[in-house]
Structure 1
Amino acid sequence: MRFGFNKAALLIGAAAIMMPAAAAAQEVQTVQGEINSAPRTFNASVPANSVMVIDVLSTSDLDPVVAVTNAATGEMIAENDDGGEGFNSRVRIPGGERGVNIVIEVNSFDAAFAMEGEQFGGTFDLVMTTSEFSAPGPITYGSTVMGTVPSGESVEYTFAARAGDMIEVAMLSEGELDPYLELRDPSGEAIMYDDDGGEGLNSLLRYTFGEAGTYTVAAMGFAASAGEYTLRVRERREAPDPQLPLQVIGFNDTATGELGVPWEENAMLPGTIDYMLSEDAKRAIRRGNGHITIRMNAVEGAEYDPAFGGGAIDPFIEVGFETPLGWASVLSDDDGSGTLDSLLPIDLSVLDDHPGMLDMLRIRVQGFGGSSGAYTLTITEGLAERFTFDVEGDAAAEALDW
């Protein structure tokens, strides 16, 4: 993406203002250790106004786990299994305003499953990296900030939310960095995270706040990756109304909805919606009007932003049955209209004498290839002509061109 000089200057200036101050030189301590069927413990101190990143790096077949407690109170501060690269473990411990003395316990993942007398363990390096704490910079709706994430570190931003606010944050990178986003509540507890919810390896996080407060967005690299990034917060939008996973549709009805990415965790938009036929539609089919055409169209003019998705849905229809054993797909269509919209003619007259099958019939809508956005769904009587792709002919034509 290229910007004109003025826009680029504005973005760079905004990044300089909103980016947390650079950390001071890091202090790194490495201790070699070994687990021999029992955990190992180490004492350490995290200075005031600093952050310690603790890595447990296996130098054997060990799958390490780490737990950190407050040395004075015994309270658990953090624990982790595979937060580093591969099976290695990583935690991040803030020193706060007064500093904190900690106890680091390193154990084997196998310890939880070992039988009495069974041996487990291996060698490891305990790496403690301490750097100056940088206060998070504020972000708000419409913010764009750019920066660099060091390996094993995170860059944090605060967001002042009201109850009911929705935030959409995208973390983008074109280099070696694999973006990873984490959202923390006012107490610092992680409440949502995302790795590859955006395009490619980019991250996309959506969340509706139940309570007002100052939340933290932490930008980091997955598996200790590092590099340059752009963090974008979408302009304010109202949270979408809830959509029922099963809805009813009749002949000549138009249903509308908006679909999200099927694999997005804690998604506010469903990845699929099922429709069942109305009683009037089923009666019409039983009277002999079983020829129907199902159309699913993308909503024209819907807003599209590749960082946040939406508005570019490639409609995909499946027709099947909801059985006691689960979903059974029978027919599907992607581009039957000759465009990206779906068109599926189907003869349901074969179900005239099987009323129970009509009751179980479902029309499932979703975005092809993980696309998302708004759509309309209609069912009309009659069999419309369906566009078919001549795959063999296209291949032959391409061969002749060569």
Structure 2
Amino acid sequence: MTAPTAAPPPAAAFDRRDGLRYGALGLPLAFVALPLYVTLPDHYARQFGVPLATLGALLLALRLLDAAVDPALGRLADALLRRGPGAALAAGAVAALALALGFVALFFPPVTGGAALLAWAAGALALTYGAYSLLTVTHQAWGAQLGGDEAQRARIFAWREGAGLAGVLLAASLPSLVGLGWTAAALALALLAGWLGWRRAPRPTAAPRTSGVTGWSALMQPLRRADFRRLLAVFMLNGTASAVPATLMLFFVQDRLQAPASSAALALLLYFGAAVLSLPLWLRAVPQLGLARTWLAGMVLAVLTFAGAAGLGAGDLGGYYAVCVLSGLALGTDLALPGALLAGQIDAHGERGRSDGAYFGWWALATKLNLALAAGVALPLLALLGYSPGARDPAALTALTVAYAVLPCALKLAAAAALHYALIRAHALAPGPLRLEIHP
């Protein structure tokens, strides 16, 4: 039995200026994430001739290694935040610099083939992933410590993810417009601006210090919470459903639709632009439906709209753009609501200001596993089924379509069922300390 914890400190108000200052760092974090998870596989396959199976194995290994250290980085974030906001900001500045350097090293390697290229890519990925993880987990833990009811937590994470969507829009357009060199420069400037905004953002109120658990026990504490394990399972299923098409998008556009690579940039702009417009609407639904049911509605909408991609073929670019817009409307729930649900769990268990980083460390691990599975399984599987970049064989293109459109919809449906039965229905039948809904 654990000792009772002191009540978390009350949440301060959070207005639009606060949202801009806190959320600004979400722009460069999403900015760098898109090239890492979407552009990188296609870039190394087409520019340097790295085989898909080799590339998938490399990405899987590095992402698994990166994911393994995320819980430890979460505990580091907790330690930094306990020392005060200044310590967290200083570590964030170092991580931001390392992130910018790793990005440049990854996309501008001094070698262009063989084992040397793979070794360089592995080192650059390790640096980039590590810096990205520390910065992301610390920033998320900071936001969770700001507290508030469901509506306020949704606003806090929506500002961060809304800025992230702006970053994705920039990352989707800049490489094709100005090249990767200027894109790297824009990333560095965005990291600086985001860190300066974070420095002026609302600061969490420190929770009372307790003797509590430490070390390995503290690291594993989140996994002892049944409600967290259920939420994490839903998050992983849903995240894998999104990671698979993100990894395969450029291949689908260029080979299945037989459209130029620049078409993918416009598709991403439409997809994430629709998500930006949808965020305020989803936030209005939260006070009526609650966080969990609003997220469920978004999942169902995503399946109904993205399923249309399975029927597309060569030349169906207009139909693909329509699918991107409609499925993008559902994306807002995936971005803002899961993190807000997690922050509510942390608060409900009286762990705000104590273990936020540990929870978000496991959260980051789940995100990395989603991406690792998408790259490490989907790419080798496609190669096994006979698909390679530039393929026009009908069987190979059918395999690409199934992997890109059908598999993600099946995974999304599984995530929706898990959310309904493991969280919404379970808490309706046996309410515990976690309160998922807000009713008028």
TM-score (norm 1): 0.19
Higher normalized helix content (fraction of residues): 2
* Structure of greater Rg: 1
Higher normalized strand content (fraction of residues): 1
